[in-house]
Amino acid sequence: MATQQGRLFAGYGGRMLVSLSAAWAILQFGRFLLSPLLPAIIRDLGITTATAGVVLGGLQLVYAGTQMASGRLSDQLTRPSLVVPGLVFLTAAFLLVGTAATVVPFALGALVLGFGKGLFTVPSRAQLSDLFDGRRGQALGVYTAGTDLGGILAAVAGVVVAGGSAVFLERIGFVATVSVGWRSPFRFVAAVLAVATVGYVLWNRESYRVGRPTLAFGETFRRLVTTSRQRELLVAFSLFYFVVGAWVNFLPTYLAQSKGFPESLAAGLFAVVFLVGIVVKPLSGLLSDRLSGRLVAAGALLFSVLGLASVSLTSTLVPVVAAIAVYALGYKSVFPIADALLLEEAPTADVGADLGVARGIFIGVGALGPVYMGTVATVATYRVGFVGLALCYVVAAALLLNGYVREG
């Protein structure tokens, strides 16, 4: 059922691309809400920062584990058989978080969020891979840009809940009287995601199937490491996700602690990453369809090294903004290429299983990134931590370039 050359958004394939990309953007909006709203959640629920960290860590672990199984299940059943339950669980998760009065329903909602996201992520990508066989990079570029759209919306919602919008309105002559609590955005996400679920069900033409499939993780892992090309991809993108985990979690804190920026400004600068990403991801996907994905990804990683160095060495606002944009331009380009390369290497019958296990490995390794950065920043400095991150990118780029040379 592959969609051949033509307009990307035309026909059935285009409708599914819109449907799945919209659902991904909505769920990422809800997921990223947890970061800017976490201080308000901690105060309101009366929990410690450590407890909040445990809850979010549990979310990531459930997400990684579920992802490893969902791809295999979607190969043996059908993609929609996992996508729809994933969307249902996600809707329930955001409703739980948005109505939580104590830490127990909040924690339960976070774990259900990880489970639902794990069910949805790989089968939705695999369905787009099935539909856009010759244009995977472009389709996945559009899809993954939803991460950045979600991040931008979450940043805006965070400012509104924190009262930043009221301050702005008062400065330009308006009196703000509306107060929005931290639960309201999560309830809004649940409602919109429910609509997106109905839209997907109405547009989808593929069948639904239930059964008792076998997971066979060992078999899938052995297939992933069969050739040196595949092993290089696994190591390169594991290093990439390690750096992403460190960067995403600590950039605002780094800007506040090391650069002396106000916390509100540091949080606002975090949106620069998403603004760049929403533009660059579709373009990098298109470029990887026309050139070697390995070459484009390696170049993007080396460009990110320049951005990391610039962020570390600059101290005033405009150069820091420019440095963040340079880094984002590089690292945001890699996401659609990573998925496309893994999908190209996978046998047609096992594409979901291979992508699921691979992404489970990446996210598991990525969970160590914030541990590394937090520890190094405590015992040494953030600059030392950035050196380690840059070395990870250099090694990853070297592995990808080695694979590109062998391709030629």
Residue 114 covered by a domain: yes
Look up the domain containing 364 and give its range.
216-408
Residue 2 covered by a domain: no
Residue 4 covered by a domain: no
280 and 370 inside one domain = yes
Residue 165 covered by a domain: yes
What lies within 8 Å, CB to CB, of 118 at 6+ separation is 62, 63, 64, 65, 66, 67, 69, 70, 86
Residue 260 covered by a domain: yes
Rounded to two decimals, the pTM is: 0.73
Residue 120 near residue 83 (C-beta atoms within 8 A)? yes
Please tell me the predicted confidence (pLDDT) of residue 393.
94
242 and 181 inside one domain = no
Condensed to tens digits (0 to 9), the pLDDT of residues 35-80 reads 777 777 888 898 876 677 778 778 878 888 888 777 777 777 788 8
Of 206, 238, 258, the residue that ends a domain is 206
Report DSSP state, residue 77.
S
146 and 177 inside one domain = yes
Distance CA 93, CA 72 (A): 23
Please tell me the predicted confidence (pLDDT) of residue 346.
55
What lies within 8 Å, CB to CB, of 408 at 6+ separation is none
47 and 183 inside one domain = yes
Please tell me the predicted confidence (pLDDT) of residue 395.
95
CA angle 233, 239, 240 (to 5 degrees): 85
Residue 3 covered by a domain: no
Please tell me the predicted confidence (pLDDT) of residue 112.
96
182 and 85 inside one domain = yes
276 and 194 inside one domain = no
39 and 116 inside one domain = yes
198 and 240 inside one domain = no
Residue 18 covered by a domain: yes
Please tell me the predicted confidence (pLDDT) of residue 404.
77
Residue 17 near residue 9 (C-beta atoms within 8 A)? yes
Q: Residue 241 sits in a domain of what CATH number?
A: 1.20.1250.20
110 and 176 inside one domain = yes
Distance CA 72, CA 346 (A): 12
For the chain, give the mean pLDDT: 80
Digit-by-digit pLDDT tens for the chain (408 residues) are 455 445 676 678 788 888 999 999 999 999 988 877 777 788 889 887 667 777 877 887 888 888 877 777 777 778 888 999 999 999 999 999 999 999 999 999 999 999 999 999 888 888 887 787 767 677 877 887 788 889 888 878 877 776 654 444 444 444 455 567 889 999 999 999 999 999 999 988 877 777 666 655 566 666 665 666 777 888 898 899 889 877 876 777 788 778 888 766 777 787 888 888 878 877 777 776 677 778 888 899 999 999 999 998 988 899 999 999 999 999 888 887 887 777 666 555 455 566 667 777 888 787 777 778 777 877 888 889 899 999 999 999 999 888 777 765
Of 150, 184, 206, the residue that ends a domain is 206
> Identity (one letter) of the amino acid at 362?
F
369 and 227 inside one domain = yes
- 84: enclosing H helix or E strand: helix 80-99
Please tell me the predicted confidence (pLDDT) of residue 174.
45
221 and 165 inside one domain = no
Work out how many domains the chain is built from and give that number: 2
Please tell me the predicted confidence (pLDDT) of residue 217.
59
Please tell me the predicted confidence (pLDDT) of residue 72.
72
Residue 211 covered by a domain: no
Please tell me the predicted confidence (pLDDT) of residue 181.
83
249 and 373 inside one domain = yes
Distance CA 107, CA 103 (A): 6
Of 182, 206, 230, the residue that ends a domain is 206
